[in-house]
């Protein structure tokens, strides 16, 4: 299951500008759905769950040389 993403990009003062700023949010709704689940039987009875990543956000600022 893929979590919702939001990305916004700004490129300098003109198209093809040298500076770029990108803001992003991953998993906007901050849901933690199960990505993987398994059960080990044979007398051991272990449940394994792997959850999706929590909400993350940030800025990126690449510069072209």
Per-residue pLDDT of the chain (65 residues; tens, 9 = 90+): 455 667 776 655 566 667 777 888 888 888 887 888 898 877 778 888 888 888 888 888 877 77
How many angstroms separate the CA atoms of 54 and 48, rounded? 18
- Residue 51 backbone class (left: φ over 0; alpha: ψ -120 to 50; beta: rest): beta
* pTM beyond 0.85: no
Q: Which of 15, 51, 17 is nearest to 34 (CA)?
A: 51
């Amino acid at each position: 299951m893929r979590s919702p993403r939001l990305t916004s990009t700004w490129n300098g003062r003109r198209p093809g500008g040298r500076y770029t700023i990108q803001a992003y949010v991953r998993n906007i709704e901050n849901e933690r759905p199960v990505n993987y689940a398994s059960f080990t039987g044979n007398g051991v009875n272990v449940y394994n769950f792997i959850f999706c990543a929590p909400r993350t956000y940030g800025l990126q600022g690449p510069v072209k040389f």
